[in-house]
Structure 1
């Protein structure tokens, strides 16, 4: 009988094979557990980062709200109340109908502007593109603004979405005016059956989006887009900047 056919030798080979299989099985189980553990740790790390990120956005939102209150209070005190005080003094010292009428008109315009900033009028009944046109209208004194629409379907948006998009556009145009040195801004609004896309392009000097993200303005935009479950992207160069806002509007349609 061949030696390898010896029962004892066969038993040894079977034992070796079983041992190897057992080692491979244990190694495979350990590798699976290690991989699973790493995936869990990675997900936990992502969750922690996401929570920290959202916490920072919430804190930024609180700061933005406080700054907005301060700005509105300053508008009331420096602009509207200032004009009314001058009007009162003029009325007490010398009455000039034409001058008084001009001052009253300016005071009414200031009150209307502040009221519009707080809550756009007829928000429930106005279409989104009309609201955005109203939002950018005051800026036409300082910038060449071109507004184009591509509305594929008639959608009745909830007030909340219209207000948030209007605030986002307001923030973008404000940042362009304050920081970019641009003279022209092109705004494109596209609405399809499911998506809403807003693209704002300027011919300014550009900026570093990474550094800009630390500012209150972009954090305010980011906070609003997080609320709307949308996304935004900024492309910037020395020839200008482009901000792209995109979201699925089905959750915010009536």
Structure 2
């Protein structure tokens, strides 16, 4: 089974139907739009790229500064915490273990709780076994331990542990050595709350920039916080290394910078959404769009004014050209400019003047030629009439005078034969018979020649009888079947009209016999209210009327048709025969022709 592919035709924009005054502003508007569009897109891409690059550099710089700032803060914090861990009361209790020093050590540990960030404090011996433990009443004993921190080697400066989540809060441990001189006598472990208010975070975000988000997390990514409460790890950035990264945060493209914090197992991450970084480029793009629309409107208006200024002379020139084409040779174009359009208008006016003069000369020549043609046609008609009159006169003279002479000669021969005595010489009798037969042939020839010069039937019985007689004579002479049909028996027309129609019919049959090679001819004569029409059709070889050289026979037939006030048409094609039609208006039938 075959499938037919459908052909879809897409219609083009109908630019060809627009005028030049409409095309020019449209094309300039499209050109302006293309230029503004390309410029706007390229400018926006350049500005966007520069802003994103500046945002990455700024983010890297901010992350480094915050990491350094937090590192210095925790370094100072460790120094302060080391002083608290090496108080005399704590060293004395760890060294002696006596109950008298226990109360003093407890008071020192409770004194550490004055800082609201401190949650608990635990004193360990050298084997890292707890000997004293102080905790805030609100938490009880629910604070988790950090065995990993106790198992690590503790430097003299102290160590800060990982972030831990408890009760929707973030805590971290701080471990210090308690030393007596150079000897370590124990350890002080304190749990502190990551205490930062929401207002502080907002102020920090405003300091960082609009849309900036600050995170703190363990280096292994186990706990994340926004410095206020635990948060989920940022999507697409939780497993990234330090540096600046592009990622998707669930709200769109974003840029994040990760840095480690010195003296802690933590890292800091600052996040910017690309939308916040691209606020200025987007405003710039909006400004470009508004400016582009304004420039396009102004450019289109100026282009419209320019096209109107250019096409107004063209309209005047077009109107004048149309008037000139319609025959108004007085049309001129007003010249109001000195540029090329003004030169064109002056050239058109000069051309119009020359055409006007040439047209006047041509009309004069046409009138003279028409008058001459009329005179020649009248002369030709007069000559044709004289010819017909001469032919009538010759035919009558031949029929009457020469016919009578030949008839008298024949009667004399017969009389001589009767008066000759007997016996008659056979040679003389034979010669007399020959003279009688010759006189009969001469009489017949005179009658035939007289009929060809002017058929007596045309004068005696009319046009229809003459056409029928000539059809029969033509068929007898050339052995071409000729059928003549007439819708009426008699017709009253002027003698000149009848003679012209008969001569055209006669010339048509003669041309068919000479050139057509036809086997049958059909002629019809019809009379209607408007005209008399004679149609002659043959089945001959035919010819091309446009390519056929105009012969004298065809030209004579056309001129004869014109002289009797009619029209002759020829329809033919090679191999399909020829049809000749003579049409005479009814108003000309009873007149005198031309």
Category of TM-score, reference length = shorter chain: 0.5 to 0.7
Shift, 1:175, TM fit: 0.3
1:144-159 residue pairs with structure 2 within 5 A? Answer: 144-151=481-488, 155-159=491-495
Please point out which of 576, 584, 587 is paired with 1:239.
Answer: 576
Could you list the runs of 5+ residues in structure 2 that have no partner in the other structure? Answer: 1-314, 330-354, 414-426
Q: For this pair of structures, how many residues does the alignment match?
A: 214
**Deviation for aligned residue 1:30:** 9.1
For residues 317 and 576 of structure 2, the distance between their equivalents in structure 1, rounded to whole angstroms, comes to 60
> Which structure 1 residue ranges, 4+ long, deviate > 3 Å from structure 2?
24-35, 38-43, 45-63, 93-102, 122-125, 210-213
Find the aligned partners of 1:178 and 1:31 in 2 and give their Cα distance.
51
Distance 1:231 1:50 in 2: 18
Return the offset for 1:60: 8.6
Q: How far 1:159 sits from its partner (Å)?
A: 0.9
Cα shift at 1:126: 1.9
* One of 311, 328, 347 as aligned partner of 1:36: 328
Aligned partners of 2:547, 2:434: CA distance in 1, in Å?
48
- Contact 2:526/2:532 (CA < 8 Å) preserved in 1? yes
Correspondences of 1:1-254 after superposition (within 5 Å): 32=323, 35-37=327-329, 41=359, 44=363, 95-96=429-430, 99-121=434-456, 123-141=458-476, 142=478, 143-151=480-488, 155-210=491-546, 212=548, 214-236=550-572, 237-253=574-590
Cα distance in 2 between the residues matched to 1:211 and 1:48: 30
Hey, what's the Cα distance between the residues in 2 that align with 1:48 and 1:251? 27
What stretches of structure 1 of length at least 5 have no aligned partner? 1-23
How many angstroms apart in 2 are the aligned matches of 1:175 and 1:57?
23
Please, what TM-score do these two structures have when normalized by structure 2?
0.30
Give the greater-gyration-radius structure (CA).
2
C-alpha deviation, 1:169, in angstroms: 0.3
Provide the rounded CA distance (Å) in 2 between the counterparts of 1:249 and 1:213: 32
1:7 alignment counterpart: none
Match of 1:10 in 2: none
Alpha-carbon separation, structure 2, partners of 1:176 and 1:103: 33
Q: Secondary structure in 1 aligned to 2:582? A: strand
Which residue number corresponds to residue 17 of structure 1? none
Given that residues 190 and 198 in structure 1 are in contact (C-alpha distance below 8 angstroms), is that contact kept between their aligned partners in structure 2? yes
Tell me the C-alpha RMSD between the 2 structures: 4.4
**Residues 29/145 of structure 1: CA separation in 2 closer, same or farther (3 Å cut):** closer
What secondary structure does 2:328 align onto?
Answer: helix
Normalising by structure 1, report the TM-score.
Answer: 0.65
3-state SS of 1:157 partner: coil
SS at match of 2:510: helix
Bigger fraction of residues in helix: 1
Shift of 1:50: 5.6
